[in-house]
Amino acid sequence: MNRIRKCRQNKKLTLKQLSEELAKQDFKISADALGKYERGEREPKLETWIKLAFYFDVPVAYLQGVSDNDDTHGYSIGVYDDNISAFMRFDKIFPNGEYKVSDGEKLDLVMTVDRFKDLLERNIPKKDDDPQTIKKKENLIATIDSLVNSLYAILIVIDKDTKTKNTAINETKELAKSLIKLWHGPDPFK
Average pLDDT value over all residues in the chain: 69
Which pLDDT belongs to residue 190? 33
Domains in the chain (CATH in brackets) are 4-64 (1.10.260.40), 77-184 (1.20.1440)
Q: How many CA atoms lie within 13 A of 72 on its CB side?
A: 21
Whole-number percent of the chain with pLDDT over 70: 41
Those residues whose C-beta lies under 8 Å from the C-beta of residue 74, and which sit 6 or more positions away, are 122
Q: Is the pTM of this model over 0.75?
A: no
32/50: higher pLDDT: 32
Taking Cα atoms as reference points, which of 65, 180, 167 lies closest to residue 116? 180
